[in-house]
A = this chain, B = another copy of it.
Amino acid sequence: MSAGNLPARVGLQLPAWVERGIDRERAYSSDADKVALAIALAGRNVEEATGGPFGAALFGPDDRVVAAGVNVVLPQSTSLAHAENMAYMLAQQALGRPRINLDDQGRPCGPYTLATSAQPCCQCYGATVWAGIDRLLIGASADDVHELTEFDEGPLPADWPGELARRGIEVVRDIARDQAREVFVAYARAGGRRY
Let me know if B2 and A93 touch, CB within 8 A. Answer: no
Known: A77-B95, A78-B92; 5 extra A-B contacts, CB below 8 A, are A3-B25, A6-B18, A77-B93, A121-B126, A123-B123
Residues on A lying within 8 angstroms of B by beta carbon are 1-14, 16, 18-25, 65, 67-68, 73-74, 76-81, 85-86, 88-99, 121-127, 129-132, 154-158, 160, 163, 195
Counting chain B CB atoms within 10 Å of each CB, the highest count among A25, A123, A124, A158 belongs to: A123
Let me know if B126 and A127 touch, CB within 8 A. Answer: yes
Counting chain B CB atoms within 10 Å of each CB, the highest count among A1, A7, A65 belongs to: A7
A-B residue pairs, 10 tightest by C-beta: A123-B126, A122-B126, A155-B163, A126-B126, A7-B94, A7-B90, A10-B12, A79-B130, A155-B157, A10-B89
